[in-house]
């Protein structure tokens, strides 16, 4: 169960896509009362199925007992009304990487959360946290809380305070992540991309430019980094795994912040997103996929 030091027992997760469902699953597995919001019943059903499937796979792999799976599912409830977040100690926004959408969510959460000390966090992978505080009347309670996919497996969390995050909010959230969620924390200044994506995305963009120019095939670029640099996955396959829409959004955020030419989104990346070729989740990106596996 949550430690007394964290003062967080009830968590709300906004969004039940790939990241939101993983965050909700993690919270439930750690003994937290977890409420998940989605915009409509169809999205909610898809999110529920995603969580149930993930927990069942954990049982099949021997990472979780069937009793633990059932207990985690009992701790998760679902809603299509964000006003139900009124009793939450912590809200985690996990909607797509769209600044306008995130600002609307933050404004809604600010109204919904009844407790003035309740924390509002964002799983954004690139948008400066200071921008999101503008949508709330509690800027001191806003912090970046960036998980990595798949959330139940990868133990890294980036914590990102803004210039106005209060010391008490920072201490409570850090204790929650380390003590309750048992995750490894790194801290970043409030700059677009934070630590990981500021290093990773320019690397992926360079690989896209190399492919776009005809310098090498997608497979040869990826095989070069896997077999020559011992990377577990090549940059183009990794972009497909992340989602090309998310990759583009992070690239645009980095370019808007730093205005460095090498950060400008490649035309090919923009065209692929416009075509709906988003990578693994749509079955086509730099590779084709069948049932989640490369064809």
At residue 290, the pLDDT reads: 83
User: Annotated catalytic, 158?
Assistant: yes
Residue 117 clears pLDDT 80, i.e. is over it: yes
Same domain, yes or no: 212 and 178: no
Same domain, yes or no: 25 and 125: yes
Cα dist from 236 to 111, 207, 212, 223, whole Å: 41, 7, 11, 10
Catalytic residue chosen out of the listed positions 125, 126, 198, 253:
125
Residue 293 clears pLDDT 80, i.e. is over it: no
Catalytic residue chosen out of the listed positions 21, 123, 162, 197:
197
Residue 186 clears pLDDT 50, i.e. is over it: yes
Catalytic residue chosen out of the listed positions 122, 158, 162, 253:
158
User: Annotated catalytic, 146?
Assistant: yes
Same domain, yes or no: 162 and 216: no
* Tens digits of residue pLDDT in 20-35: 999 999 999 999 999 9
Domain count of the fold of the chain:
2
Residue 247 clears pLDDT 60, i.e. is over it: yes
Q: Is residue 179 part of a domain?
A: yes
Catalytic residue chosen out of the listed positions 146, 162, 188, 253:
146
* Tens digits of residue pLDDT in 200-235: 999 999 999 999 999 999 999 999 999 999 999 999
With contact defined as beta carbons under 8 Å apart, do 136 and 165 qualify? no
Residue with the larger pLDDT of the pair 86 and 291? 86
Q: Rounded CA gap, 60 and 249, in Å?
A: 35
Residue 52 structural domain: 10-187
At residue 291, the pLDDT reads: 62
> pTM of the entire structure?
0.90
The reply to whether omega before 150 is within 30° of 0 (cis) is yes
């Amino acid at each position: 169960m949550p430690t007394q030091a964290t003062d967080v027992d009830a968590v709300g997760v906004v969004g039940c896509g790939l990241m939101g469902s993983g965050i909700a699953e993690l919270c439930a597995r750690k003994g937290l009362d977890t409420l998940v919001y989605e915009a409509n019943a169809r999205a909610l059903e898809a999110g529920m199925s995603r969580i149930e499937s993930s927990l069942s796979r954990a049982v099949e792999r021997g990472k979780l007992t069937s009793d633990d799976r059932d207990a985690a599912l009992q701790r998760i409830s679902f809603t299509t009304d964000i006003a139900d977040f009124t009793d939450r100690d912590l809200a985690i926004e996990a909607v797509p990487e769209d600044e306008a959408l995130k600002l609307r969510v933050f404004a809604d959460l600010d109204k919904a959360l009844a407790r003035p000390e309740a924390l509002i966090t964002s799983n954004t992978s690139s948008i400066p946290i200071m921008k999101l505080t503008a949508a709330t009347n509690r800027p001191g309670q806003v912090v970046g809380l960036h998980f990595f996919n798949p959330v139940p497996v990868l133990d890294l969390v980036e914590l990102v305070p803004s210039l106005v995050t209060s010391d008490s909010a920072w201490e409570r959230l850090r204790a929650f992540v380390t003590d309750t969620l048992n995750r490894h924390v790194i801290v970043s200044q409030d700059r677009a991309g934070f630590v990981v994506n500021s290093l990773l995305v320019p690397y992926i963009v360079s690989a896209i430019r190399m492919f776009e120019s005809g310098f090498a095939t997608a497979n040869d670029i990826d095989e070069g980094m896997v077999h020559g640099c011992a990377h577990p996955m090549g940059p183009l396959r990794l972009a497909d795994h992340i989602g090309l829409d998310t990759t583009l959004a992070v690239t645009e955020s980095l370019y808007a912040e730093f205005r460095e030419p090498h950060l400008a989104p490649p035309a090919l990346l923009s065209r692929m997103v416009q075509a709906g070729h988003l990578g693994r989740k749509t079955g086509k990106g730099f590779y084709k996929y069948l049932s989640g596996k490369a064809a």
